[in-house]
């Protein structure tokens, strides 16, 4: 017996617009942009302050060790 091949209709992919419109894509994008911008701004403002503090600690430790060796 020969296997029968069922003929199938060609289906074209259709867009499910209900799923796309139910997700607030632009609201999520805007929220992401706000969070990223605030994060970059915060890091840009805080990093130099922290670096300055570490530099002062480094100078203090450097002079402390210099006095111990003399």
| Cα 51 to Cα 10, 37, 40, 56, 60, distances in angstroms | 64, 21, 16, 9, 14
Provide the 3-class DSSP secondary structure of residue 12.
coil
Domain ranges of the chain: 46-70
User: What percent of the chain has a predicted confidence (pLDDT) above 70?
Assistant: 64
Indicate the length of the chain as a whole number. 70
Distance of CA 2 to the CA centre of its chain: 58
Instruction: Give per-residue pLDDT as tens, 9-22.
Output: 666 666 667 766 78
Better pLDDT: 57 or 58:
57
Better pLDDT: 33 or 67:
33
Query: What angle is formed at CA 10 by the lines to CA 5 and CA 11, rounded to 5 degrees?
Result: 130
């Amino acid at each position: 017996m020969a296997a029968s091949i069922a003929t199938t209709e060609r289906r074209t992919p259709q867009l499910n617009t209900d799923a796309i419109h139910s997700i607030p894509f632009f609201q999520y994008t805007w929220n992401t942009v706000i969070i990223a911008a605030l994060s970059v701004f915060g890091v840009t403002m805080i990093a130099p302050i922290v670096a300055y503090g570490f530099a002062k600690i480094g100078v203090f430790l450097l002079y402390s060790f210099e006095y111990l060796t003399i």
